[in-house]
A and B are shown apart, each in its own frame.
Chain A
């Protein structure tokens, strides 16, 4: 069980999406990905649903968003 961190706060769209999709390909069952983002990644959510990932988003004190992503158990 590992957790990986991806900070995309300084990246210009659509790089955040490109990066996270690359990482998701390598995410094993039981691993999770913690993503730091300046905005709600509304484009990402439907892709996650479709590809079988679960996610939970929380707003941070600095006004950013933290998105936790993991593979759904089948």
Chain B
């Protein structure tokens, strides 16, 4: 059987996902402002205070924010498993993630331990509530969609990421004795690879064939890849504390991500309809960047120390502002207008004219924003070799974040206007 489609009866109210999607770009904006303010020093190392702050504005404020919001939307409709108490869960998760992201970032920036405890605690609370709701939902799944297991591995990785992040945050202030170096290597791996990339895979299995009109992913990939990679993440972690050579699971992890990227690019190459849009282009760019990240991962393992550090910095750029941001940015351009359209369609059809997808999310401004994003990313990578580019890159990130917010707001404004029209007519 094909995976079940979406079913509206189980979709939560529109305010639930929208508040996540519309606040997320503001954190992108905040990260951009840091890059403008601190400039070249942020590229000296991944451990510069402003770099760690920007990293968490992106991971907690932007990517985790969108992913939690999207997952609460997708679990009910894709997996047929409603999230319990959707309003309360959304409210709590959203507020704790937003304040947590700000707190953790501020603590890195200004070195205030109390902010780290507060921000880390809030983020952990948000993740905790999200994990409980998502786990409950996944346990009640009715569909055999190939997305479901990958989503399960992803949220399990989130638990590991948050636990490592929280202990790192506390230990950083000297209150805890942990193997800091090992933890600080494993925490970003579980966060970027486990929580984020595995979720992208799970979502892709469903969304790429459906929205991009490609054939389905090969069964071997949807059945084995996510679970295999999760196992490799465990082995790679164990290698830090045992005699297991880290290179073996390390190389396998890079190869696994490469397999996914290539499979996706090949499917997209076999599309039935040749028209492209911003979402598709963002995803193709994202997959290209994922491939680049795999190669840099290998390079970082093979190169001599100094060159390896530069490769690791580039790996971070290809992975987070590259692959992950591109895919999520592209996804937002589909999910936001789709939800708006869908809610209008199901509540107000026949009462007033319902705008279509292209009106809710025109392609031209989305492509314009993508061009800015690509320029910002290219300059950021360039700044690794020639640091004076950093501030200019920051300015472009800033413009790109504002434009993204503007584009998403357009859908919301049109949604509101249509609802107003429909309800005004009803009372005539």
- Give the Cβ gap from B238 to chain A, nearest Cβ, in Å: 41
Q: Does chain A have a CB within 8 A of B341?
A: yes
Q: Does chain A have a CB within 8 A of B85?
A: no
User: Within residues 1 to 49 of chain B, which ones have a CB less than 8 A from any CB in chain A?
Assistant: 2-9
| Contact status B338-A13, CB under 8 Å | yes
- Give the Cβ gap from B143 to chain A, nearest Cβ, in Å: 10
Q: Does chain A have a CB within 8 A of B349?
A: yes
Q: CA A10 – CA B211 in complex, angstroms?
A: 10
Binding site for B on A (CB under 8 A): 9-15, 17-18, 21, 38-43, 46-47, 63
- Give the Cβ gap from A57 to chain B, nearest Cβ, in Å: 12
A63 cross-chain contacts in B, Cβ below 8 A: 2
Q: CA A14 – CA B356 in complex, angstroms?
A: 9
| Contact status B5-A14, CB under 8 Å | no
Q: CA A42 – CA B6 in complex, angstroms?
A: 6
Q: Does chain A have a CB within 8 A of B426?
A: no
B212 cross-chain contacts in A, Cβ below 8 A: 12
Q: CA A13 – CA B207 in complex, angstroms?
A: 10
**Given A13-B210, A13-B211, A18-B356, A42 contacting B346 (CB threshold 8 A):** no
B342 cross-chain contacts in A, Cβ below 8 A: 14, 43
A17 cross-chain contacts in B, Cβ below 8 A: 345
B338 cross-chain contacts in A, Cβ below 8 A: 13-14
Q: Does chain A have a CB within 8 A of B357?
A: yes
B5 cross-chain contacts in A, Cβ below 8 A: 39-43
Tally of chain B residues near chain A (CB < 8 A): 22
| Contact status B7-A42, CB under 8 Å | yes
B211 cross-chain contacts in A, Cβ below 8 A: 12-13
Binding site for A on B (CB under 8 A): 2-9, 210-213, 272-273, 338, 341-342, 345-346, 349, 356-357
| Contact status B346-A47, CB under 8 Å | yes
- The one of B2, B7, B213, B357 in contact with A10, judged by C-beta atoms closer than 8 angstroms, is B213
A-B contacts, 28 of them at CB < 8 A, read A9-B272, A10-B272, A10-B273, A11-B213, A12-B211, A12-B273, A13-B210, A14-B341, A14-B342, A14-B357, A18-B356, A21-B345, A21-B349, A38-B2, A38-B213, A39-B3, A39-B5, A40-B2, A41-B5, A42-B4, A42-B6, A42-B7, A43-B5, A43-B8, A43-B342, A46-B9, A47-B346, A63-B2
- Give the Cβ gap from B17 to chain A, nearest Cβ, in Å: 16
| Contact status B8-A12, CB under 8 Å | no
| Contact status B341-A40, CB under 8 Å | no
- The one of B9, B213, B341, B345 in contact with A12, judged by C-beta atoms closer than 8 angstroms, is B213
B272 cross-chain contacts in A, Cβ below 8 A: 9-10
A10 cross-chain contacts in B, Cβ below 8 A: 213, 272-273
- Give the Cβ gap from A12 to chain B, nearest Cβ, in Å: 6
| Contact status A43-B7, CB under 8 Å | yes
- Give the Cβ gap from A46 to chain B, nearest Cβ, in Å: 6
| Contact status B210-A39, CB under 8 Å | yes
A9 cross-chain contacts in B, Cβ below 8 A: 272
B357 cross-chain contacts in A, Cβ below 8 A: 14-15
Q: CA A12 – CA B208 in complex, angstroms?
A: 11
- Give the Cβ gap from B260 to chain A, nearest Cβ, in Å: 22
A47 cross-chain contacts in B, Cβ below 8 A: 346
Identity of the chain B residue whose Cβ is nearest the Cβ of A42 in the assembled complex: B5
